[in-house]
Structure 1
Amino acid sequence: MASTGTGGLVGRGIADITGEIAECGMLGYGMAFQQSAGLHTRLRARAFAFSDGTERLMIVVCDLPLMFGGVVRAVLARLPRGYTESNVMITATHTHCGPGGYAHHALYNGNTGGFRTKTFAAVVDGIVEAALAAHEDLAPAALRLAHGRLENASANRARRAFDRNPAADRALFPGGVDPQTTLLSIERDGRLVGAINWFAVHNTSMTNRNRLVSGDNKGYAGYHWERVLGGCDYLADAPQELITAFAQTNAGDVSPNLNLRPGSGPTEDMAENTRIIGTRQADAAAALADKGRNGEGTSFDLVLDHRITHVDLSDMRVLPAFTGDGRFHRTSGPTGGATSPAGAIPDGPTYFKGFGAERNRVLGALSRGVVYPLSRRLRDAQAPKPMALPASANRVVPLVQRRLPVQLLRIGPLYLIGLPFEVTVNAGLRLRRTVAPILGVAWQDVLVAGYSNAYGHYTTTPEEYDAQMYEGGSTLFGRWQLPALQQIAAGLAEAMRDGRPVERGEPEPDLAGRRFNRGAAAAAPVLAPPGRVFGQPLSLSRTGSVVAAEFVAGHPSTELRRGGTYLEVEREAGADVWTRVADDGDWATRLHWTRGTGPRKRYAVARVEWDTTGAAAGRYRLRFHGDTEDGPFTGVSEAFDVPA
């Protein structure tokens, strides 16, 4: 048995961050019609606090579509002294089926009717709760780091761009994906109590046709390890014994849809694909934990370090040492390419008609023939991008963030480059190879922690950028964006190696008080139909293994029930004694919420579904919880039997 690393304190925390599950635009795909209409799995923040006696550090992994600077700012203001923007990393798993409207930059609230104060509060409050719980949980722990390979959970969705990279780089990733799965495991008294896994795959197994809030494959991976394998109960009064987070890394051009079609691969059922891809990540991580306990992982004493700087990427001078052509270059203001509105076809179809995922001849000709000849600097920074959204638009209304944080964290032998970007596999490789030799470590021990602390869209290699597929069109600051980030990361690594501080830089302005962030219009009220009351059961049905009950419903946004549940599955345990066996955090349950149309628009129905597969034989019932302005209500279905 390998020796166990000691000398540090580690704490864990988990909290609910689920926002509005009804009539709120979902963030990720940008589809106007994708409005939340129920709940499949709750979204959670999983926090891990570290202390080596001198330094502190915290990582919070959130089941969210994106992370925004406004959220980070609000969270940091509520953390205990000693936690700062430098030593706290707040990162998103990038599910595309979470409620939106929690950004302070206007682009991300386009299908939500504006800023959603309730969803923003749910996100911030939950992250703070998880972080505070992790801080309070600090205790001696053993840490291990292990690397492995996961080959059947990802596919490159932009191969034409990837294949432009040098052959030596491509040879490291023959499948066009990064198969490295990395696990940081936390043990107390020889028992696994926490883990953070990093693996590069988009959290897009659920397509833009899904309208149920979902943590997608990475959310399921956490659920599977914690609740299925670990037996944790999210609603129990006792603290959760096992907390496992599945974080992103360089997943920018990597899809979970193995057949490179939305919702396709390994099966043609998007929910089943979510479960399978999530299970594969969880099983690979659990295997690494087992190997670590058998002496194959790296045990280490806890040593922490951290650096952060804010950089205006709209005007950065990039040195020849990083540009690759021996010349100086500059980045430019955030400019969207014509392929960006089209989306990534393997994960979702076009969401703006007229924009192609591969090319746009009209905008391409306009950019080449008119715009670029008028500005040599813009041509050097952005060509050959066919421009669809010029940088000037961002000066009228703050659409996207221009000043962005770049972070470097150390946890023993592991280094994390915290970036607010979706970084492609090969772009991640270059960043890792930039930092690793400066710090004297293998590049495999340096990970790109994408989707962290803010959001600035994509980062590709210059070669991939020239292909101008979706990822290149969404590399807003131009062809030299990756070299600029390499330059910044190198500076952070040198400062960490030498024990020097770095310039903080100027952060993005706080936009919370701007007029367009004062809140979306309230949803139309929901009433009980004449002769009925809220919670009244309407029907009970069974289709195959799925039992469903419908109830008269209020609006779920009246009370988000964060940390609670909208539904329960109860099993009869004796005369008038019922025991909860499942809730809305379980994979086997679903809640569909539907508002009527026409004259019935003010009425709503909640449909509670439970898949009885694997359930013990017995007598059961379904319970639905809701709220109105007058208070909570509960509905209970008829009892039904599940046979042996």
Structure 2
Amino acid sequence: MTQALEPFLTAATSRAAFTVASPPPEPLEPVSGLLAGAAEVDLTPPPGLPKAGYSRNARTGIGFRGRLRARILHLRAGTASVAIVQCDLLGGSAVVQRLVASAIRAETDVPLAGLFIGATHTHGAPGQFLGTDLYNGFASNRPGFDPAWTNFLVEEVSAGVKRAVASRQPARLALGSTEVWGLTRNRSLAAHVRNEDRVDRRIAAQRTYASVDPRLSLLRVDALGGGSLAALVVFGVHGTGIPMRNSVYNADLWAYVYEELQERLGPEPIVGALQGTHADVAPALRPGRAGDVEAARVGRGIGAAAAALHESLGASLREDVELGAGLREVDLSASSSIEGVTLPARPALGAALIAGAYENETPVVHRIPPFRAGVPKPHKPADPHGAKWVIGSRWLQPVVMPLRRFPRVLPVQVLRIGSALLVGAPFEITVDAGRRVASAVAASSGADDVIVSSVANEYAGYCTTSEEYARQHYEGGHTLYGPQTNAFLAAHAASLASSVRPGAVVSEIIEERTFDLRAHQYWPSPSGTTAPGAARPAGPARFIDVTAEQDAYWEQGWYDAAPGDLTWNQPIVHVEWTPSGENAWQTLVDDSSCALEVRYAGEASADHRYVVRWHAPELRDGREYRFVVRGLPLRPFN
């Protein structure tokens, strides 16, 4: 159990209050060449946790389709050591980053400044692990920080980082990019086209068409002795291919990116992804068809492009790679200005936030001013929040939402990988805001390539350009710190990047972070009985035919122990097949695949009922199939 959270887990209180100290990093002895290791851990929780991303419109999780995972890529070169953690979660978390850094300190050489907690921003995973009351309260359908869920994340990620470091070996890497068109669209085009061109004048003439960032970056890491270790994708698209009404945990379209990559590259490399500059970018779904069919189409298209890029990088692999790392925690209570750019004294939630984003609008409300997109407030130039209609007014909102509930520490991180820089920020960053950050970083550091990743190390709402902000769409309404947020982030990222030279570890952090969060445990407690007994079947399998949004599936039920007594991040169910008349059953697919879905169907008397669904099975004549649940074969079907 993580020491910082242990006292709270047994305390009768409604708040989780704890402090995490982060001492300065110890200087590392230089190593020659590049060392790398990789690991994967399963983050799938039990049913009962609220899902994050769709706010009150989300559903509480009742199971999973495709598992939630964290992939860890560790790199060590010169005097620097980094670990890039790629999570199937809404975002990173300062709580998780701090506690993981503390947990791995004695067994690894990865400092806090080199620990990058990134995410895919799927809207299909639980929240309740973030560092602020605001987003533990409003990102999900139910509020509160869950210490048990957070503790689980910290333990699993820490174990993965330790394994990745322990497995490191001489390696080579290559970083490259390709373009992916036709699978994404700009969901806030009317705001995007207002941007003045400040980076590339060619964009201005075609801004309506160049409204997404098509760049997909991929880091390929191979063992020096042969064999692929890891592949890390960075691409900008919202994890909103699966609709709000869905009630199982899922990695959204990213699950299909992984599956496509793994099928093409083989099982050897550990494949993961980080979100790019995606705040105004949505998957290009066919109208009215949000669901796994469309998520798979978009995700597999992205995965295919990533696999082709991975193959092309083989000739560029090199072992003489320089590393560096820097982390700056910007404490807004101490300083909210840099290079003449000043943020408002307090953040504010805008009315356009209530209306929702274009593809997931709040019914009725999205049509009513001032909530409706594109209805800016008349304002004076001195107004720190400019065109934003502040929910409840600038007098009432501070009463209902005290300053301590908002993100007040903004982590900005820069990792140097060869001649490229990976910049992590806690915001959802729009396409043009990302371009401006990358341009500022390149100018200050001389980097050949700058990759900007959203929602890293914490979640702090949105970051739009000042022009987009003035239009007050959802993205501008959710930019907490006003129209200068983009300029403020760009200045800090550029300043930090200029210090992250090869071999440097820059740690500009708050040595002791104190968190005081409203708490509620959703993680189900064990029943207190003995170990779970064998599962029992509950009726025969049945076939459900295909729809426009849903592929066909076979479904079968079973009875089992209470959800809190089962280990959900370990295999539960798989499908076996055998030629008719033979007794030679073989595994066909397991629940690590998006083809299998596991649901908790509720309690009936003393029993707990579960359902497994096998989606899009390729059944063949003359064969029998069966589900196997925790070692129990259920009734065969064909």
> TM-score normalized by structure 1?
0.82
Displacement of 1:73: 1.4
2:371 aligned to which of 349, 352, 360: 360
Displacement of 1:13: 0.6
Who is 1:623 aligned against?
A: 628
Q: Give, in whole Å, the separation in 2 of the partners of 1:194 and 1:524.
A: 36
Displacement of 1:112: 3.3
Displacement of 1:418: 1.1
Amino acid at match of 1:256: P
1:387 aligned to which of 390, 400, 413: 390
Who is 2:418 aligned against?
A: 412
Q: Give, in whole Å, the separation in 2 of the partners of 1:51 and 1:222.
A: 25
Contact 2:265 2:307 in 1 (8 A): no
Displacement of 1:306: 1.2
Contact 1:426 1:461 in 2 (8 A): yes
Contact 2:80 2:505 in 1 (8 A): no
Contact 1:403 1:508 in 2 (8 A): no
> TM-score normalized by structure 2?
0.83
Displacement of 1:499: 8.4
Amino acid at match of 1:504: E
Contact 1:331 1:481 in 2 (8 A): no
Report 1:469-618 matches (<5 A): 469-497=473-501, 504-506=508-510, 509-511=513-515, 514=517, 516-517=518-519, 519-520=521-522, 535-544=536-545, 546-562=553-569, 564-572=570-578, 578-595=585-602, 604-611=608-615, 613-614=617-618, 618=623
Amino acid at match of 2:540: S
Contact 1:149 1:180 in 2 (8 A): yes
- Identity, in percent, stands at 27
Displacement of 1:36: 1.0
SS in 2 for 1:202: coil
- Write the deviation string for residues 299-338 of structure 1: whole angstroms up to 9, x where unpaired: 4621001111111346512434xxxxxxx54433221101
Q: Give, in whole Å, the separation in 1 of the partners of 2:75 and 2:451.
A: 18
Q: Give, in whole Å, the separation in 2 of the partners of 1:425 and 1:546.
A: 38
Q: Which moved more, 1:307-316 or 1:165-174?
A: 165-174
Displacement of 1:635: 4.7
Change (3 A) 1:556 1:50: same
Q: Give, in whole Å, the separation in 1 of the partners of 2:372 and 2:307.
A: 48
Relative contact order, CA 8 A, sep 6+: which one is greater?
2
1:31 aligned onto 2:62: no
Q: Give, in whole Å, the separation in 2 of the partners of 1:180 and 1:17.
A: 28
2:325 aligned to which of 279, 283, 306: 306
Displacement of 1:491: 1.2
SS in 2 for 1:23: coil
- Write the deviation string for residues 245-299 of structure 1: whole angstroms up to 9, x where unpaired: 121111111001345x5xx5xxx25101111111111111111112122x4x474
Q: What's the Cα RMSD here? A: 3.2
Q: Which moved more, 1:614-623 or 1:154-163?
A: 614-623
Who is 1:324 aligned against?
A: none
Report 1:424-435 matches (<5 A): 424-435=430-441
1:41 aligned onto 2:43: no
1:349 aligned onto 2:361: yes
Aligned length: 581
Displacement of 1:580: 2.7
Amino acid at match of 2:519: N
Who is 1:86 aligned against?
A: 113
2:446 aligned to which of 414, 437, 440: 440
Change (3 A) 1:23 1:216: same
Contact 1:551 1:635 in 2 (8 A): no
Contact 1:307 1:409 in 2 (8 A): yes
What are structure 2's unaligned runs of at least 5 residues? 1-31, 546-551
Who is 2:183 aligned against?
A: 153
Contact 2:527 2:565 in 1 (8 A): no
Displacement of 1:570: 2.0
1:332 aligned onto 2:345: yes
What are structure 1's unaligned runs of at least 5 residues? 1-5, 233-240, 321-327, 626-633
- Write the deviation string for residues 58-84 of structure 1: whole angstroms up to 9, x where unpaired: 101011122221111121111134222
Who is 1:198 aligned against?
A: 234
Who is 2:35 aligned against?
A: 9
Displacement of 1:106: 2.5
Amino acid at match of 1:96: H
Q: Give, in whole Å, the separation in 2 of the partners of 1:357 and 1:492.
A: 42
Change (3 A) 1:257 1:525: farther
1:317 aligned onto 2:340: no
- Write the deviation string for residues 124-176 of structure 1: whole angstroms up to 9, x where unpaired: 22212221121112111111111111012210001111011014354576330
2:77 aligned to which of 26, 46, 52: 52
Amino acid at match of 1:128: S
SS in 2 for 1:52: strand
Amino acid at match of 1:216: D
